[in-house]
Amino acid sequence: MSALSKNSARLRDEERARLIWLMTTDKALTSTLLGKLTLAEQYDVGTLADDIAEVGALVAHLPPPDLADTLEALPSEERHALWRLVQDHERGQVLVEASENVWEDLIDEMSDHAILDALRTLDIDDQIYLVQHLPRNLTGRLLVSLPPQERARVHQVLHYEQDRVGAIMEFSVITVRPDVTLGTVQRYLRRLGKMPKNTDKLFVTSRDKTLLGELALQTILLNSAQSKVSEVMDTQPMLFSPEDDAEKAARTFERDNLLSAAVVDAVGKLMGRLTIDEIVDVVYKETDNDMRALGGP
């Protein structure tokens, strides 16, 4: 098998399907993982051990989004059994990728210590996403463990209603000054070594964080390294306010084919950004609510 085929979409689909089939057709497997295998459920010990080993290998190989999809497809008992095989360092990312119903079900049986450990593996934006749904006592304990700047960001997001842009914005942004050259920007990006997910543009700000424009990555690549940022930046970018309705923002993203956009305060200072990931979550929730409404009480 080639290196490429080991991570093909087809193989991952097959592995998810196999994992779901094993968990839903083998009651003894679920009972063993949950530590409550009965005599009536016992069968060939070697076969059961092989099934457990296969499930463990599949869980170890699948990335967090696929594990989240798999957990979504399982009934609650099987979901909890499979969750016990997810590595501690991956649990936080799987929770981020899962729907609210799934991770609320999963954290229901986790200890406070285990939940906080899972959250600490995440970046600040993912922590903020999950912390909005934690019990108040856990929210306080997580906040105490954060550096002052990140703690202030969490407090800022919690200030907004969940249907507002401010509640779903990210703080992971890259900013540059208007008076530097594109060559300087390129060197800066290389020093950073990585960029936040869904970064298709940088935000151009003054020293007091006032947003002046945005600089698309394509612009950085296709223009002369001697060009100044101010000469090639977009001075009329799409902006959102933290008080904007999240569903209306989602429709703007769809209409304008946006991948990310700036969020600014009342005086034009950059607060953060919206990305397509948050927008997909909004659309999913809106669709789910519409389907529930069609289904009636």
Say yes or no to pLDDT of 286 above 80: no
* Homologous superfamily, domain 71-159: MgtE N-terminal domain-like (1.25.60.10)
175 in Cβ contact with 149 (< 8 Å): no
What lies within 8 Å, CB to CB, of 211 at 6+ separation is 203, 204, 205, 237, 239, 262, 264, 268, 269, 270
**Cα(114)–Cα(171) distance, integer angstroms:** 25
Average pLDDT of the segment spanning 209-213? 97
Please tell me the predicted confidence (pLDDT) of residue 184: 97
**Cα(270)–Cα(206) distance, integer angstroms:** 10
Average pLDDT of the segment spanning 55-66? 94
Please tell me the predicted confidence (pLDDT) of residue 164: 93
Average pLDDT of the segment spanning 2-17? 78
In Å, what is the CA distance from 124 to each residue of 97, 121, 182?
Answer: 15, 10, 29
Q: Give percent of the chain above pLDDT 70.
A: 90
**pLDDT tens by residue, 143-156:** 887 888 888 888 88
Enumerate the H helices of the chain as residue ranges.
9-25, 27-33, 45-61, 64-73, 76-83, 88-97, 100-107, 112-120, 124-131, 136-145, 148-158, 182-192, 217-222, 229-232, 246-256, 276-295
Q: Which of helix, strand or coil describes residue 214?
A: strand
**pLDDT tens by residue, 116-151:** 888 888 888 888 888 777 776 777 787 887 888 888
* Homologous superfamily, domain 175-282: CBS-domain (3.10.580.10)
Say yes or no to pLDDT of 4 above 60: no
The answer to whether domain 71-159 and domain 175-282 are alike in fold is no
**Among candidates 10, 20, 122, which has minimal Cα distance to 67?**
20
Task: Map out the domains of the chain as residue ranges.
Answer: 71-159, 175-282
What are the backbone dihedrals phi and psi of residue 201, each rounded to the nearest 5 degrees, phi first?
-155, 160
**Among candidates 51, 60, 64, which has minimal Cα distance to 24?**
51
Q: Which of helix, strand or coil describes residue 177?
A: coil
**Cα(88)–Cα(90) distance, integer angstroms:** 5
**Cα(68)–Cα(297) distance, integer angstroms:** 28
Please tell me the predicted confidence (pLDDT) of residue 156: 80
189 in Cβ contact with 175 (< 8 Å): no
DSSP label at 134? S
Q: What own/partner pairs with CB < 8 Å and gap ≥ 24 does 131-134 have? A: 131/158, 132/157, 132/158, 132/162, 132/167, 133/100, 133/103, 133/104
